Structure 1
Amino acid sequence: MTNRIIYISTLVVGSLSMLTTVAHAQQVSFMKDVAPVLLRRCAGCHGDKKAEGGYRLHTYDYLLTPGDSGERPVVSSQPKESLLLHRILEKDDSIRMPQKDDSLSVAEVSLIKTWISEGAVFDGIESGKRLVTQLPPREHPASPESYRVPVPAQTIVCHPEKNQVAISGYHEILIWDLDEMKLIKRLQNLPQRIQAVIWTETAEQLFVAGGTPGEYGELSLVDVDSGERTKVFGTFDDIVLCCAVNSDGNRVAVGTAAKETRMYDVKTSELLWQTRSHSNWVTGVAFSHDDRFVVTTSRDQTAKVHLAHDGTLFTIYNGHRLQLGGQSGRFTINDIRSDANTRLLYSAGEGSSIRVWDPVKAKDENGTAADMEGRFFKMGHTRFIAHNLDDQVLILKIHGDKLAVAGANGRINIFRISDGQEIASFDGHGDWVFSLDFSADGSRVISGDFSGEIRVWDIKAQQVLKTLQARPNQ
């Protein structure tokens, strides 16, 4: 951001006076109007991890608590006595907030000043909780009519019955006809980046998970016909990376880049439980075949098995950080899938193999705290399938007896689950393959990469059928 700030005192004062008068017509909301500004412009230096001058504002309570200066940052109904406002309006760049960044706009300053004048009222849920977890859902902008450059294909999901495929775009989901690969519909005004999409049981709506990296996350339901967000389950303090729905369609679980896992009731939107059991990004989430467990994977090299009804940690799967044999190493896990036929879990990431395992057997093999060191030296029940990608796996998908994997070297390999044999392999992508899915009948695989290229492959013929860039009006 530029440091070239020009202060024109008379203009600022005059504009503030005019905007304050307008703002008084409707009371300023702290959570809707003020908190987003403070979090976006100030929390980087005054948040839960960093506190310049000993001052934090990531909660309402901290916002009111003096820093090293001892002066009150916010004095109810007295903006002239509030240090926060003085720092925001300071002309000296070495003192002004935010430092090394553009100053707040006239409108943003006016909102803060008016809010203080009106009593600095807190209208959130809990004053001691982080503000970012209490913000209302964002109103997202419309997508551009056309893209100047393609965007990465973060997620691809085929319609469960029709020859249609939903592909993530920029603030939107693009619905394509799978046979002709013609654009059918644009579902807009969605989060900037869409990380996961799941069709509901009736295929009338989509679960949509995504957000803005490092800033905001969201899980919502979107009506396919109208394009409207019919429900927002919750907002998050970082992007939502993964999503899974149970077999009855009444529970949805998500994982985020903020190390958080949450479970919601689909009908009521009630938050059933949440946990931060991982020490790094939650990269994958899946329900076990019987919906008894919710299993999450992470960059911390573990898979955590939680009881689905309340989130209690059941066990930790350590098969991605073994210390003996040909599968030894400490590997980040990028994705996980559950297979109803074998009743097993399939997880992969770094390393040369897909891990196939059972959560109950994993618990038995973990033993007790006395076995903590020894557990990493046990091969256990895990079955290993060499994925033959020569690089890390980024995504897994299962359809019937087929298991597809894709990754950082641009290749897609397909295996027969029953015997682990490779039955097809596709080369052609020139970049990391982030997304793929099987067509409804299982005869084709659709894949997308970081460059935005989409390819449709015929599994039996082992050839590419179509190639395009997933962007509107191209």
Structure 2
Amino acid sequence: MPPLRLTASSLLFALVALLGETRAATETAVSFRKEIAPMLQRRCAACHGEDSAKGGYRLDSLKRMSKAGDSDLAPLTPGKIGDSELYQRLIEKDANDRMPQKADALPASEIALIERWIKEGAVNDGGPADRPLSELVRESLLKSAPVKYPRPAPITALAFSPDGTQLAVSGYYEVTIWDLDTGALVRRIGGLPERISALAWHRKTGELAVAGGSPAQWGTVILIDPSPNAEPRFLCDLPDMALCVAFNPDGTQLAAGSADRTIRLFDVKSGKQAHIMRNHADWVQSVAYSPDGTHVLSSSRDRTVRISSAATGELESTYTGHETAVYAAIFSHDGDTVLSLAQNSPLDYWKWTTTEKKPKRTDVAGHPERLAWVTGGLALAGEDGLLRIETPDDETLFTLYGQPDAISALAVGSNPDQIATGSYDGTVCVWNLGCGTWVRRFVASP
């Protein structure tokens, strides 16, 4: 028996050793493009990028992250984690010196991945070293839309074409265009982010503005030319989702708000960023222009509404009357008054052009999350699936039924009698307020 037991033990030891060697031989090297770049973009870009380089150190490209900041210590020494300040800062015990600062330490699995990458020689498989990390992340996250949806996708964004005959609808890695006379799918525009948060259709050029991204990984704002086969114009790459977009009245400027707490203003013709505003402390959930186009209105999860100059980006006014996250805010027709809608809260109706900040509060039913001007009053929609048309004085004009699930998107056409709603179950309803009913209803899934 003893010799047999020894032989079995030896065989087991040999088998374990062989499996270990096989695993080591087949284990692929860490990919900078697919694994390291997305992680650094997600965790570090906000504090060590072009717009904010704390400690004089930037992490927005491999070339820049290899150069020392104010400390003069080598951030990256291939093959040597002990000589790589980037890694040492991640494992630092003192929270004041550890990166990221004022945040939880990176998960052990992510730190281990960076350690492996450095030990393997910090190999770059992402092309030229000066390529922005955001470009690498974009490439890794953009995928083809499914040929056929296995189930309807929640509707998160809608926009009418300038002539009101078509409707752009958010999809999965795409935007779909639908004919409103027939309810037929006209076009699928792919090559877009996983999630589409907002859409705006330019009234003169027909360009479609798209905000979206992949949560907590990457976001972008895109302009899509209406002509066939035109390539989407990516205006920016962000560390988190872009959440809202709006054209100014004459169509020369585009405002976009995102989950990275910024508002960015773009020149529509060139696509270049004109201003970046960091006025909010949390997600920017809506943006809108004043009727004359000189002011940008923004609402945020930080419970504030802010007004900034469209020409300079400078902050002009702040409203702090809400006690919960603000979903949306719009200007009155004269531009002197703002209507703002917060979570589980009455509608606030306040003048921003005077020193008086005490709002007129009106109760609204149904916990609405969407707000827009329509013929005769305001359209409010939310989780109860009802579309309510009310006056700012809380007088309900009428309530529209037809959406089978919570309303998650709302759009108004150039004719304010025309309105569209989308729900979490993938259903789109197009309403004619003159008729007081929906005139087209379809499931917007290819």
Report the TM-score when normalising by structure 2.
0.75
Paired with 1:345 and 1:394, the residues of 2 have a C-alpha distance of 16
**Paired residues for 1:56-455 under 5 Å:** 58=59, 74-75=76-77, 79-81=78-80, 99-100=108-109, 113-115=122-124, 122-123=129-130, 132=134, 138=139, 140-226=142-228, 228-320=230-322, 330-341=323-334, 343-361=336-354, 364-365=355-356, 379=358, 382-389=359-366, 391=367, 393-416=368-391, 421-455=395-429
Q: Secondary structure at the match of 1:115?
A: coil
Describe the shift of the 1:187–1:278 C-alpha distance in structure 2 as closer, same or farther (beyond 3 A).
same
Aligned-partner residue type, residue 384 of structure 2: N
Alignment CA distance shift 1:347-1:45 (3 Å): closer
Paired letter, 2:38: R
C-alpha contact 1:288 1:345 (8 A) present in aligned 2: no
Does the aligned pair in 2 maintain the 1:335–1:394 contact within 8 Å? yes
- Identity percentage over the alignment? 24
Amino acid at match of 2:356: E
What is the CA deviation profile of residues 218-261 of structure 1, one whole-angstrom value per residue up to 9, with x for unaligned ones?
11111223253342211111000111111121111111111111
Structure 2: how far apart are the matches of 1:220 and 1:46?
23
Change (3 A) 1:185 1:13: same
SS at the partner of 1:191? coil
CA 1:10–1:195: 2 relative to 1, 3 Å: same
**Counterpart contact for 1:289–1:344, Cα < 8 Å:** no
1:100 & 1:113 partners in 2: Cα distance? 17
Q: Distance in 1 between matches of 2:173 and 2:290?
A: 31
Shift of 1:80: 4.1
Decide whether the 8 Å contact of 1:405 with 1:414 is kept in 2.
yes
- SS at 1:409 equivalent: coil
In 1: Cα distance, 2:410 partner to 2:264 partner: 25
CA contact (8 A) 2:372 2:412 kept: yes
CA distance in 2, matches of 1:227, 1:114: 36
- Asked whether the equivalents of residues 34 and 111 of structure 1 are also in contact (C-alpha less than 8 Å), the reply is no
Corresponding residue SS for 2:353: helix
Amino acid at match of 1:347: S
Query: Who is 1:325 aligned against?
Result: none
Q: Distance in 2 between matches of 1:410 and 1:184?
A: 27
Which 5+ residue runs of structure 1 have no aligned equivalent? 1-5, 21-32, 50-55, 89-96, 126-130, 321-329, 367-378
Q: Is structure 2 residue 443 aligned with structure 1 residue 469?
A: yes
Q: Tell me the secondary structure at the aligned position of residue 155 of structure 2.
A: coil
- 1:37 is paired with a residue of what secondary structure? helix
Pairwise CA distance, 1:301: 0.9
What is the CA RMSD across the aligned residues, in angstroms? 4.0
**Alpha-carbon distance in structure 2 between the residues aligned to 1:426 and 1:400:** 14
Farther off after superposition, 458-467 or 192-201? 458-467
Letter in 2 for 1:332: A
Change (3 A) 1:319 1:12: same
The Cα of 1:274 is off from its aligned counterpart by 1.1
Contact 1:72 1:82 in 2 (8 A): no
Q: Report the Cα distance in structure 1 between the residues aligned to 2:228 and 2:83, rounded to whole angstroms.
A: 44
CA distance in 1, matches of 2:336, 2:351: 8
Mean Cα deviation higher: 455-464 or 232-241: 455-464
Contact 1:453 1:468 in 2 (8 A): yes
Cα distance change, pair 291–466 in 1 and its aligned pair in 2 (3 A): closer
> Structure 1 residues 432, 200: closer, same or farther in 2, change over 3 A?
same
1:456 to 1:48, Cα distance in 2 relative to 1, 3 A? closer
Structure 2: tracts of 5 or more residues without a match: 1-17, 48-56, 88-105
Instruction: Answer yes or no: is the 8 Å Cα contact 2:80–2:118 preserved in 1.
Output: no
Q: Is the 8 A contact 1:163 1:439 kept in 2?
A: no
SS at match of 1:397: strand
1:150-203 Cα offsets, whole Å, 9 max, x none, are 111001111221321111000111111112211111111111111111111325
Residue type matched to 1:402 in 2? G
Give the 3 Å change call, closer, same or farther, for CA 467–275 of structure 1 in structure 2: same
Residue aligned with 2:176, SS: strand
Q: Does the 8 Å CA contact 1:210/1:217 hold for their aligned counterparts?
A: yes
CA distance in 1, matches of 2:245, 2:208: 11
1:14-67 per-position Cα deviation (integer Å, ceiling 9, x unaligned): 897xx99xxxxxxxxxxxx83663143567788879xxxxxx99556666779x
Structure 1 residue 336, shift from structure 2 partner = 1.7
- Displacement of 1:143: 0.7
Amino acid at match of 2:208: L
CA contact (8 A) 2:245 2:255 kept: yes
Change (3 A) 1:298 1:177: same
- Name the CA distance, whole Å, in 2 between partners of 1:110 and 1:186: 45
TM-aligned CA distance change 1:46 to 1:224, over 3 Å: closer
TM-score, normalised to structure 1's length?
A: 0.71
Distance 2:229 2:400 in 1: 34
d(CA) in 1 for partners of 2:226 and 2:112?
A: 41
> Are the counterparts in 2 of residues 336 and 347 from structure 1 also a CA contact under 8 Å?
yes
CA contact (8 A) 1:137 1:232 kept: no
Secondary structure at the aligned position of 1:410 is classed as: coil
